[in-house]
Amino acid sequence: MMSLDNNIKAIFLIILGMFVFSIQDTLIKLMSDHINIYVIYIVRSIVGILVIFTYCWIYKIQLIFKTYYPFITILRVSIFFLGFSLYYFSLSKISLPEAVTLFFISPFFVTISSKFIMGENIGMYRWSAILIGFIGVYLVLDPNFNDFNIYTLFPIFCAFFYAVTVVIQKKTSDKDSLFTQILHTYLSAIAFSIIIYFYVNNLTFTPYQLLEYKFVLMSWNIPSLNYFLLLIIIGFTAVIGFFSIFGAYRIGSPATIAPYEYSLIIWSILFGYLIWNDYLTIKGMAGLSLILIASFFTLYREYHLSIKVSTDKPIR
């Protein structure tokens, strides 16, 4: 049984993890006009790998490269990379609070994915929560179909891809360790980024495309030492975030600490307003409220029914 002290420590770790992830997202958005997204990916992954190797060396943890599930591991890292490529690109096109809010529909996708991948039964109450959550998404999007911003859908696509990876990771965690799975994620990000670099370099783009997709198509360079240091900070924020969140779920009660992941929205709204003067509209706030209500109900319901797909994993 989880002690109160452990839950308090776990809550602190969750809030810390969400805080550093919000710093990561803020820095990526700030750098989106100056550094290619895949340069950010590569530096972040290299920093993450070095930290993992150092941590495992200090604590005498055996780091295993092999996966016992090669096919679905390739599937997991591929859609994880695609999902967060879409999410990070969306940060260059929409506000930080909007992107983060839309991403937080992932618990609903996790619930749906768990039905089709793991055969979980979804009752009327959880389907109702999912419906309410998607109504909230519609309010946040507030679509004007004559002038719809397609990039607002990217965090939703990311949430879906992420949810599938969560369920896959749940199936593979019996044999592949946490460190092995994170290592696969980082190594695949480097490999995919290099492949994209060589592929894109062989293509020709119009001036409009170069401007519209600048975050992806700009040349691979780091403008100054300051930007390099920011890239290193992004790498450490990702590692600190992962370790904080997984550490929290290791020592705390998932049902108690999971709601604190939504503190990421608070940090994002704060940073978005202070740096870019971005904020959610009244409809957006109403939609956010519905998403939060539906998400908390989903977490409660799954814990009450002892369904551990959504409640025993981090949101990222």
150-209, pLDDT tens digit by residue?
A: 999 999 999 999 888 877 887 787 888 888 888 999 999 999 999 999 999 999 999 999
Residue 257 belongs to some domain of the structure? yes
- pLDDT computed for residue 310 by the predictor: 47
**Residue 125: is its pLDDT beyond 70?**
yes
Total domains, the chain: 1
- What residue numbers bound the domain in which 73 lies? 4-95+150-275
Q: Would 108 be classed as within a structural domain?
A: no
Q: Which amino acid is at 201?
A: N
Average pLDDT over all residues of the chain = 86
pLDDT for 23-65, tens place per residue?
999 999 999 999 999 999 999 999 999 999 999 999 998 888 8
- ∠ CA 95-99-104, rounded to 5°: 150
- Whole-prediction pTM value? 0.87
Residue 110 lies in a domain: no
Q: How confident is the model at residue 1 (pLDDT cuts 50, 70, 90)?
A: very low
Residue 263 in any domain: the answer is yes
pLDDT at 96 over 90: yes
Please report the pLDDT score of residue 301 as a whole number.
67
Distance CA 64, CA 159 (A): 28
Lookup: tokens for 134: 């998607």
- Name the residue type at position 187: L
pLDDT digits (tens, 9 = 90+) for 203-252: 999 999 999 999 999 999 999 999 999 999 999 998 898 888 877 877 77
Within a domain: 265: yes
Q: Is residue 20 part of a domain?
A: yes
Q: How far is CA 288 from CA 61, 99, 211, 259, in A?
A: 41, 12, 32, 14
Q: Is residue 285 part of a domain?
A: no
Residue 314 lies in a domain: no
Enumerate residues 6+ apart whose C-beta is below 8 A from 38: 193, 196, 197, 216, 220
> Residue 191: which residues within 8 A CB-CB, separation 6 or more?
none
pLDDT digits 0-9 by tens, 285-298: 999 999 888 877 87
